[in-house]
Amino acid sequence: MQQPYRNKSKSIIAILYLIWLLSGSLYSQEYPAGKYDFPDQPNGSYFKSYWGISKAVVTSPLKWDKKHWVATGGVVTAGVVLYIYDDEIRDFFQRNQSNGLSSISKFGLEPLGSGVYPAILLGGTYVYGLAAHNSTARQIALGGTQAWMMGAVTAQVIKLLTQRHRPYQDVPGNPRLWKGPFKSLKYTSFPSGHTITAFSLAAFLSSVYKDRPWVAVVSYGLATGVGLSRVYDDQHWASDVFIGAALGYAIGKLVFRTMQPNSKISMAVGPDGGIGLLYKF
């Protein structure tokens, strides 16, 4: 009877320790004044910036050139391959369940994607910025919040347009079932919202602290864990998670670039096949 409790406690302690490491990096950082061109409080300018980023996300394909479309095709191809094997990947994860992994997923990784732990991390950073009279710390907290929120909104819009069945919603599960635009609010598998938000925040933080490589390792490691947990928990197909990760990465980078003085950017896919940014100065 004690084993599940111990697994739960260890999972929570491990994840909170990693978040504490990230917090330590945020709070120990020396923030030069005027580093970012971004609001340092949730005012009208801050909320208006959401509209600017939304437009950049929607209109960026109009600015892509041939190499970006080719690279985008590579990313889509990888997603299609996973789509073909969604059933097999699901079966693998469902065959390899354990109390320990279930506890890590439920108490450690799921709250990362749902926003519980990010709220603690970003909220703490903002409070620190207030207490230390540090505007840059507040900008980073608000920028991270924007990256997370933009990921969540993007996921919800695509979910409404695609209406893909989740793995557990059919017996047997069928990854080929899509209802199409606005048919209902019941089928919301594609893409993985938890994964988009986790990767949005990871991409943002790794950009802010690019001089500290371990921040990227921890951030992307946790985000990857979130994505894998969604397949493990039978909430999403592997292709949902892959596309969610790619979109989240692009959104996080997009938000960070908008904080740079005098930057004009749009989301794109690089020639190496990675989703990134197209920007002009």
As a residue count, the chain comes to 281
Q: How confident is the model at residue 23 (pLDDT cuts 50, 70, 90)?
A: low
Average pLDDT estimate for 84-110: 93
Q: Which among 100, 82, 107, 79 has a CA at the least distance from the CA of 92?
A: 82
Distance (Å, whole) CA 13 – CA 78: 35
Q: Are 200 and 145 in contact (CB under 8 A)?
A: no
For the cut 60, the answer to whether the pLDDT of residue 272 exceeds it is: no
Q: Percent of the chain beyond pLDDT 90? A: 54
Mean pLDDT for 258-279 is: 53
Q: What confidence tier does 12 reach under pLDDT thresholds 50, 70, 90?
A: low
What is the rounded distance in angstroms from the CA atom of residue 126 to the CA atom of residue 201?
15
- CATH class of the structural domain 3-23+35-280: mainly alpha
Mean pLDDT value across the chain: 84
d(Cα 263, Cα 196) in Å, to the nearest integer? 24
User: Do the Cβ atoms of 187 and 161 come closer than 8 Å?
Assistant: no
Domain limits, the chain = 3-23+35-280
Q: What is the pLDDT of residue 13?
A: 63
The two three-digit tokens of residue 265, written as one number:
């950017």
Q: What is the pLDDT of residues 104-134, one digit of tens each?
A: 899 889 999 999 999 999 999 999 899 989 8
Distance from C-alpha of 119 to C-alpha of 21, rounded to nearest angstrom: 15
Which tens digits make up the pLDDT trace of 192-211?
999 999 999 999 999 998 88
Structure tokens at 32: 């030069």
d(CA 6, CA 86): 33
Residue 214 has pLDDT above 60, yes or no: yes
Q: What is the CA radius of gyration of the chain?
A: 19
276 pLDDT higher than 60: no
CB 68 within 8 A of CB 278: yes
45: pLDDT strictly greater than 50: yes
For 134-181, how does the pLDDT look when each residue is reduced to its tens digit (9 = 90+)? 898 999 999 999 999 999 999 999 999 999 999 999 999 999 999 988
